[in-house]
């Protein structure tokens, strides 16, 4: 899938004609002064208070959710809009701010906490730039390159996925201030979610396996759908979050009771059939990678989404370890590869002439019909990329 590249180059902006250099430098000086004022205000005691709050909220050590928390915080405390660059202390005291000031203050806080988050902006646009850990495996998104690193753009809201933009004609260059430290950490994938309150969406998961029909009731918090909508379109990022989402939905123990007593081969195929069920989610090849919560509530997904869901189910319901499952990639297609845990299962797959990639037997939840663990579409080549 294509990635749209936005190249950061403030020096290139200065080199091109038609730009008033003194005006540009003055603007950067003001915003740098504002950013520095916000950064200096953040004390060790404030950081300690935030860490205690994150512990209470159930998001400690999950910096991606820190960013979402601060977006929500600034949205709530910014009661009126004003011009210019407003430092953090003034925003808190007066409730007066604007999008760029809120973004710069968020960057100051995240950098104080040790994470690599920058602000990219021009006269019309303003984004947070998140330096994501490579283990997310982002498949598509808008990003800016700066100092040899990619920063995925996040609208300053709680509705737009990281890497997606609301504007249809984004700029090719943005201004940005430098980071306060060279030792800032990238943002890792989400491994767990906070407990959510509020309304619940009830979704029946219905599928057939070996002449039997199974039904599981999933209770999906509406807040969970909203929060996970912010995740970037990524393979392992969505899959790891999906493990926590399934836990919150209360489906894991229900599914374990169904596959309890089945062989490894049948247990995997039962979950495989769940992910293929058109009653649960209709296949739609135009869909972006979405969280499991969004897939289930919207009732649509593609090969990426089905693979993400199957990954999370295998890890949580059957307790496969991280190194047992990988994503397999062909041009315009994604499936899973799963290493059998038992010798008997492995031999059964070999006897069926299953497709293996470096010891991983294919699980393609987008391959419809009478298919099982190890079946590969004929149109796919015999070589693929293993995404670890």
Report the pLDDT value the prediction gives residue 195, as an integer from 0 to 100.
83
Identify the band that residue 260 occupies on the pLDDT scale cut at 50, 70 and 90.
Answer: very high
- Contact call for residues 85 and 210 (beta carbons, < 8 A): no
Identify the band that residue 314 occupies on the pLDDT scale cut at 50, 70 and 90.
Answer: very high
Report the pLDDT value the prediction gives residue 23, as an integer from 0 to 100.
53
Report the pLDDT value the prediction gives residue 217, as an integer from 0 to 100.
98
Q: How many CB atoms lie within 10 A of CB 239?
A: 26
Report the pLDDT value the prediction gives residue 24, as an integer from 0 to 100.
58
- Provide the residue ranges of all domains of the chain, joining segments of one domain with +: 4-176, 200-387
Number of residues assigned to the chain: 388
Report the pLDDT value the prediction gives residue 27, as an integer from 0 to 100.
67
- Contact call for residues 294 and 280 (beta carbons, < 8 A): no
pLDDT > 80? residue 9: no
Q: How many CB atoms lie within 10 A of CB 181?
A: 11
Report the pLDDT value the prediction gives residue 18, as an integer from 0 to 100.
42
Identify the band that residue 286 occupies on the pLDDT scale cut at 50, 70 and 90.
Answer: very high
Identify the band that residue 370 occupies on the pLDDT scale cut at 50, 70 and 90.
Answer: very high
Q: What is the spatial distance between Cα 102 and Cα 107, in angstroms, rounded to a whole number?
A: 9
Q: Which residue has the higher pLDDT, 11 or 328?
A: 328
- Give the three-class secondary structure for 6: strand
The owner of tokens 């006897």 is 351
Residues 132-168: tens digit of each pLDDT: 999 999 999 999 999 999 999 999 999 999 999 999 9
Lowest mean pLDDT across 15-29, 158-172, 297-311: 15-29
Q: What is the mean pLDDT of residues 348-377?
A: 97
What are the phi and psi torsion angles at 115 (to 5°)? Answer: -115, 145
Report the pLDDT value the prediction gives residue 324, as an integer from 0 to 100.
98
Q: What is the spatial distance between Cα 271 and Cα 317, in angstroms, rounded to a whole number?
A: 9
Report the pLDDT value the prediction gives residue 218, as an integer from 0 to 100.
98
Report the pLDDT value the prediction gives residue 28, as an integer from 0 to 100.
79
pLDDT > 70? residue 1: no
pLDDT > 70? residue 233: yes
pLDDT > 50? residue 100: yes
Report the pLDDT value the prediction gives residue 13, as an integer from 0 to 100.
32
Q: What is the CATH number of domain 200-387?
A: 3.10.620
Counting beta carbons within 10 angstroms of the beta carbon of residue 252, is it exposed (0 to 12), middle (13 to 18) or buried (19 or more)? middle
- Give the three-class secondary structure for 355: coil
DSSP-assigned letter for residue 190:
P
pLDDT > 80? residue 383: yes
Report the pLDDT value the prediction gives residue 3, as an integer from 0 to 100.
43
Report the pLDDT value the prediction gives residue 322, as an integer from 0 to 100.
97
Q: pLDDT exceeding 90 applies to what percent of the chain?
A: 88
Across the chain, mean pLDDT equals 92
pLDDT > 90? residue 21: no
Beta pairing, strands 142-146 & 80-81: unpaired
Q: What is the spatial distance between Cα 344 and Cα 334, in angstroms, rounded to a whole number?
A: 27
Q: What is the spatial distance between Cα 330 and Cα 366, in angstroms, rounded to a whole number?
A: 13
What is the model's pTM? Answer: 0.91
**Mind giving me the DSSP string for 213-263?**
EEEEEEEEEHHHHHHHTTS-SBHHHHHHHHHHHHHHHT-HHHHHHHHTTS-
Structure tokens at 105: 């203050």
Report the pLDDT value the prediction gives residue 25, as an integer from 0 to 100.
61
pLDDT > 50? residue 344: yes
DSSP-assigned letter for residue 275:
H
Buried b (16+ CB within 10 A) or exposed e, 205-225: bebebeeeebebebebbebbb
């Amino acid at each position: 899938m294509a990635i749209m590249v936005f190249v950061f180059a403030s020096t290139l902006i200065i080199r091109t004609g038609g730009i008033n250099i003194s005006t540009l430098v003055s603007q950067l000086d003001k915003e740098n002064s504002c950013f520095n004022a916000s950064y200096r205000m953040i004390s060790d005691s404030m950081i300690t208070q935030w860490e205690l709050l994150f512990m209470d909220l159930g998001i400690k050590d999950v910096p991606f959710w820190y960013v979402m928390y601060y977006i929500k915080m600034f949205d709530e405390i910014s009661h009126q809009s004003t011009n210019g660059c407003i430092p953090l202390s003034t925003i808190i005291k007066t409730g007066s701010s604007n999008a760029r000031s809120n973004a710069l203050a968020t960057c100051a806080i995240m950098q104080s906490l040790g994470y690599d988050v920058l602000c990219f902006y021009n006269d019309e646009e303003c984004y947070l730039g998140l330096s994501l850990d490579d283990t997310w495996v982002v498949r598509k998104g808008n990003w800016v390159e700066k100092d040899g690193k990619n920063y995925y753009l996040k609208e300053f809201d709680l509705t737009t996925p990281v890497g997606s933009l609301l504007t249809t004609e984004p700029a090719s260059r943005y201004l940005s201030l430098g980071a306060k430290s060279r030792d800032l950490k990238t943002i890792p994938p989400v491994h767990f979610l906070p407990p959510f309150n509020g309304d619940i969406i009830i979704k029946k998961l219905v599928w057939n396996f070996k002449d039997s029909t199974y039904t599981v009731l999933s209770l999906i918090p509406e807040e969970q759908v909203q929060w996970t909508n912010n995740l970037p379109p990524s393979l392992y990022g969505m899959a790891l979050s999906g493990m926590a989402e399934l836990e919150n939905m209360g489906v894991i123990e229900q599914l374990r009771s169904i596959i309890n007593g089945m062989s490894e081969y049948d247990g995997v195929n039962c979950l495989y059939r769940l992910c293929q069920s058109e009653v649960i989610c209709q296949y739609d090849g135009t869909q972006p990678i979405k969280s499991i919560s969004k897939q289930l509530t919207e009732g649509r997904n593609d090969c990426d989404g089905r693979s993400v869901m199957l990954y999370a189910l295998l890890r949580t319901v059957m307790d496969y370890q991280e190194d047992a499952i990988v994503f397999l990639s062909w041009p315009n297609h994604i499936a899973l590869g799963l290493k059998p845990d038992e010798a008997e299962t492995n031999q059964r797959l070999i006897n069926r002439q299953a497709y293996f990639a470096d010891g991983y037997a294919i699980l393609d939840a987008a391959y419809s019909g009478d298919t099982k663990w190890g079946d590969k579409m004929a149109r796919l080549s015999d070589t693929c990329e293993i995404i670890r």
